Amino acid sequence: MHRILDNIDDCVEGDDETYQYSCSLKDRYRKQCSNEEKCWSPIVTDGICPQDKTSIFQKEVPFEHVCDGMKTHTVMDEAGKVIHEELGCQAEWCDNIYARCDWFWSCSDGRDENNCSRTRCPTGTFPCISPINETVICLPPDSVENDIIECLGGTDEQKKCRTSSIVFEKPMRFRCRNDDTCLIVSQLCNGKDDCTNKHDEKMCSTPPVACNKRSTHNYSEIEELLCGTNE
C-alpha cells in the first residue's frame, strides 16, 4: 500500500502511480495537495505539492529500506513534522524477502532471521560469537538491541553501526570493542590495526578468519557469523 503514488513505477504499466482511489487507502500519513484528488505516499510527501517550499528526497528511498525497522531517511514537511520511511508500517511487514537473512533483526522478535545460519540456536534466539571465548552463543531476544554489547563485533547492537554508516551502502558493520568505530569485514584480519585497541587483529590468530572464500559453504561456523556482518 505504501508503494502506491510514491513517484516510483513498481508495476510494469505504472498502474501504482495512476491509482485513482489513493485517498481511500487507510494510511493516515498520506498527503493530499490543494486542488488534487490523489493522496501521495508518505515516502515522498515533502516537496510533492507545488506550494511546498522544500524539495523532495534528493535520492529515492530503496525499496528494501522501507519498513526495515530503521529510520534512515527523514525529511521535514511544510508543517514542521518529521516523516520517514517507517511511517504506516505494519508489524507483519518486517519479515520480507529484503529483510530475510541479512543478519539484522527488522522484526522485534527476530523472525526475519530464523533458520538463516547453520548454527543450532533455538528459533527466536540470536546466534553470535562470544567476545569472551570466541565460541558460538545463542542470545535470548531481550538481549538484542538492549544497549549492552554481548557479541563479538557488537552484532547484537547493530543500530549503532547502521546509523553511523552511509545510508545507501551496505549498512552492517563490525564494531570495535570499547569504542564506536565501525569496520567493514575486509578490515578484519588484514594485518592493519583499524581498532584503537587492535581488537580487529587480536582475534585472528586461532583460527584465522577468512571472509573472501568463494562459497559461504566453505565457511566455518564462526566465519559464517562474522563474515555475515557485511552481507
pTM of the model: 0.56
C-alpha to C-alpha distance for 137 and 139, rounded to whole angstroms: 6
Residue with cell 573472501: 212
Per-domain boundaries in the chain? 1-89, 100-230
Cβ-Cβ contacts under 8 Å for 218 (sequence gap 6 or more):
none
Q: Which of 107, 75, 103, 105 has the alpha carbon at shortest distance from 89?
A: 107
Question: Tens digit of pLDDT per residue, the chain (231 long)?
Answer: 777 877 787 887 778 888 888 888 877 778 777 777 888 887 775 556 655 544 444 456 777 677 777 776 777 766 777 777 777 777 777 888 888 887 777 787 778 888 777 777 888 888 888 888 888 899 998 898 888 999 988 888 877 776 554 444 444 578 888 777 888 777 877 888 888 888 888 777 655 566 665 555 567 777 777 776 544
Q: Are 143 and 126 within 8 A, CB to CB?
A: yes
